A and B are shown apart, each in its own frame.
Chain A
Amino acid sequence: MSRISPDFVPQLLAGMVVNFEIAAIALLVGLAVGGLLTWMKLAGGASGAFATAVIGLMRAAPTFVVMFFLLNIIPSDATLFGVNVAPSGIMTVALSLVPYAAAYVADNGGEALRQLRDGSPLGALLFLPNVTRAFFVLVMSSSAGAAIGVPEGIAVILREAELMPTLGDKMVLFAIGILCFGITLQAGFALMRLLQRYLGRLALRAR
């Protein structure tokens, strides 16, 4: 433990902020894309079929591969109307998570709209805890950014681990990482449960 740099924990926390940042961007874009796909799917016809096919492909696309695809397909000097649009490392990871987020939003959004049409607004509100769950899944998945040099939490842990001479020292470091991410995840799930209970109470009052 004494071999761990005194800057490690502050750096890890700063890295975890990056994980949250990536997840937030991915979820926001996912909500927009997923919302659009849900609307198209419910509209039926050709656009509905197209949306269903796109959602299917998004579900099947592995995040890690999408990340490398985006990283290599967009030139570092790409411009649009004279503005550099090449995504940063953080944005690349966030965009790679968008297919998952959008497909998830489309699935759950469709279900929520169905509940709403069936006269169950509270059932539709279950969309909120589901989105919260997706957000924390995205936080954990954003660790893939370590592979392309994004300075997120896992990258900080791995950087420090490179300098650890023994497996035991590395394991201590990894345990700290799991603890930090675990507390965050469990706190997120606790928040989700609170939200569900609150919605449940609302449902009881409505009856």
Chain B
Amino acid sequence: MIFLRRIVISALASLLALATLPSHAETPDAALVKLLDEAKAAAAVPGACAQPGLDRLVRIFCEGKIRVGVREYYPLFGTREGCVRSGYDVDVARRLAKHLGVEPVFTRVNAATRIPLLADDKIDLTIATMGHNAQRDGQVRFIRPHYFQSETIIVGPKGLTIRDWPDVASRTICVTVGNGSNAQIVSHNARLMLFDEAGVLPDKLRDETCTLAAQDDSFFDYYFTDPAFAGSYDRKFGFAQLPWGMAVALAGSDKLARALDLTSQIFHRDGVFLDIAKENRIGLGFLERQRAVWNRPECNTATGAENPACVLPPLSAVLEPTPIAAQVAAFEGWIEKHTGIALQLPMFKTMPAWLLFKAGIVNSLILVAGALVATLLFSLVLGAMQSSRSFLLRWPARALTVVLQSSPVVLTLVISAAVALALFPYSSAVAIGAAIVALGLMNGANAGQAIAEAMHTLRTERGGPAVPTADLYGRAVSRSATQIVSFLINAAKGTPIASFIGAPELLSALTDITSFASGRASTYSLLLVFYVCVVIVVVWLCGKLRIWLERRQVVSA
């Protein structure tokens, strides 16, 4: 009896296993043939092609052609020289059309027109280097699986060892404004140098304006076909992967989208995309991985394109808004309506920007306060050393002062940061600390020299070298009040330059914000107002200090 039960259970299990085996599921090839046959049959019905509301797949068979939007100035993906079009996107379009048995008719599109032309029914399909993000899902129907995937890559000189994020902390990376991956670069403590056009980046690498540049691998692929460029630069690492999708219109394209989904699956599985990529000398990594995915039994089915284990999700490109984003947008609109000024305040509209902005203000104030205290301390210490009767104290202080006076401010900051980074791992606090020390030393050395000179005049007035006492030193400090105050103000004015070594003060924060948001003019105007106000407050406070020091001098005299 037990034996019989085992046999029945085994038989049932085998039946269940057979029922769930993918080999028994409909293949994408069979599903595609069936779909195309139905569409061709619908197109062949007399008068059907003249009827409104046809699915675009049927219409394509009615007309014997598919209208494809492609780019004309995107090297390796979509270019045109005279009547000759070439590139990966163009070749994919040709292969798709061939697979459907129709002729491709190309239309030029760019980043701004590739979606509107679909919606206006000027094209049936767009294959135009378009990243698939969640925002665009509401505008077009993306074909899945994706036909390519780009990623942002860091490119730099071959001799430079950069392997991962820790290696780029505190370095400057050249990027284009508005690139979605900029926020990620910023979060790893790298500094950004912004450019409007990606086309200038290779030139900036060549003329050594930029040591590192970040941009889509699809962009750099073209430059790496140049032996001279490939000989000097290499890809350091990649991040921010973005799947690229072919797309059709949201309305009236259900069957076309389904046919293209199935074709895309087949092209991945059979290595068609991979072959086209090889012919066009673009990156193969993603396509090789996708070929393996679409050969898996659970993916190689008619419903594989709906299986989350097989297809890639769209990139979520929406930044979290602040609670006051709507009010800020309304305020911007009100200003524009009443003054004509297109004010934009991106720092108040998204959470990442708001957090950067808040931290930037706090860090700027810390930096200003720190620079003032450091300047005062270094001036007192170096002033005392330079006033000392011992040459062992006097000469090193004088030598340091001469060196600091001879070093441009940016160089002093960089030296300070290099020493700090040799002692501590990079962090915002280390960068701010290094900047405070550098600004304090530079300005303190000059103020210290003024104190020493005042000490010299006091000794001369007393008829010769006197023993430096605390009282005499105090008078020297009072006498050099104007100079000390002048260098304190100079230190406060110099604090924004700390952004050069990666200190996350307001200039640095706003540069980061404008790298992924709009409103550069408003943002930098606000920055200028902020720093002018801070310096005016420092000037006022320093004025009070000078009056106190000068009164002290009068009293002690």
Closest to A170 in B: B418
What are 30 residue pairs bridging A and B, where the CB atoms are less than 8 Å apart in the complex?
A: A60-B536, A61-B528, A61-B532, A62-B494, A63-B493, A64-B494, A65-B507, A68-B511, A69-B524, A69-B527, A144-B410, A144-B497, A146-B410, A146-B500, A147-B410, A147-B497, A151-B207, A153-B408, A154-B410, A154-B414, A155-B209, A157-B411, A159-B211, A171-B415, A171-B418, A174-B411, A174-B418, A178-B406, A182-B403, A182-B406
User: Residues of B contacting A179 with CB < 8 Å?
Assistant: 406
A72 pairs with B539, CB closer than 8 A: no
- A202 within 8 Å of B by Cβ? no
- B521 within 8 Å of A by Cβ? yes
CA distance A116 to B523 in the complex (A): 45
A66 pairs with B411, CB closer than 8 A: no
A181 pairs with B406, CB closer than 8 A: yes
User: Residues of A contacting B408 with CB < 8 Å?
Assistant: 140-141, 143, 153-154, 177, 181
User: Residues of B contacting A47 with CB < 8 Å?
Assistant: none
B409 pairs with A72, CB closer than 8 A: no
Task: Type the 1/0 row for B514-537, where 1 means its CB is closer than 8 Å to any CB of A.
Answer: 100000110111011001100110
Given A60-B535, A151-B207, 9 additional A-B pairs, CB 8 A: A57-B532, A64-B497, A72-B523, A76-B196, A141-B409, A154-B414, A159-B208, A170-B418, A171-B415
Contact of B496 among A65, A146, A183 (CB under 8 A): A65
Contact of B210 among A59, A76, A149 (CB under 8 A): A149
CA distance A149 to B211 in the complex (A): 10
A64 pairs with B496, CB closer than 8 A: yes
CA distance A68 to B507 in the complex (A): 8
Q: How far is the CB of B330 from chain A (nearest CB, A)?
A: 25
CA distance A171 to B210 in the complex (A): 21
A68 pairs with B410, CB closer than 8 A: no
CA distance A196 to B496 in the complex (A): 35
Within 8 A of B (CB), among A160-175: 161-163, 167, 170-171, 174
CA distance A66 to B527 in the complex (A): 9
- B392 within 8 Å of A by Cβ? no
Contact of B531 among A59, A65, A162, A167 (CB under 8 A): A65
Task: Type the 1/0 row for B468-499, where 1 means its CB is closer than 8 Å to any CB of A.
Answer: 00000000000000000000000001111101
User: Residues of A contacting B78 with CB < 8 Å?
Assistant: none
B204 pairs with A149, CB closer than 8 A: yes
A182 pairs with B402, CB closer than 8 A: yes
Number of chain B residues whose Cβ lies closer than 8 Å to a Cβ of chain A: 49
User: Residues of A contacting B405 with CB < 8 Å?
Assistant: 182, 185
- Would you call the interface of chain A mostly helix, strand, loop, or mixed? helix
User: Residues of A contacting B520 with CB < 8 Å?
Assistant: 72-73
A: residues with CB less than 8 A from B are 56-57, 59-66, 68-69, 72-73, 76, 140-141, 143-144, 146-149, 151, 153-155, 157-159, 161-163, 167, 170-171, 174, 177-179, 181-183, 185-186
CA distance A162 to B532 in the complex (A): 33
Contact of A147 among B500, B536, B539 (CB under 8 A): B500
CA distance A170 to B499 in the complex (A): 20
User: Residues of B contacting A63 with CB < 8 Å?
Assistant: 493
- B422 within 8 Å of A by Cβ? yes
Contact of A73 among B209, B494, B511, B521 (CB under 8 A): B521
Please judge, given known A-B contacts A73-B525, A185-B405, whether A62 and B411 are in contact too, CB under 8 Å.
Answer: no
Q: How far is the CB of A135 from chain B (nearest CB, A)?
A: 14
CA distance A193 to B535 in the complex (A): 32
- B407 within 8 Å of A by Cβ? yes
- B157 within 8 Å of A by Cβ? yes
Closest to A77 in B: B196
Q: How far is the CB of B506 from chain A (nearest CB, A)?
A: 9
User: Residues of B contacting A157 with CB < 8 Å?
Assistant: 411
- B31 within 8 Å of A by Cβ? no
- B373 within 8 Å of A by Cβ? no
User: Residues of A contacting B402 with CB < 8 Å?
Assistant: 182
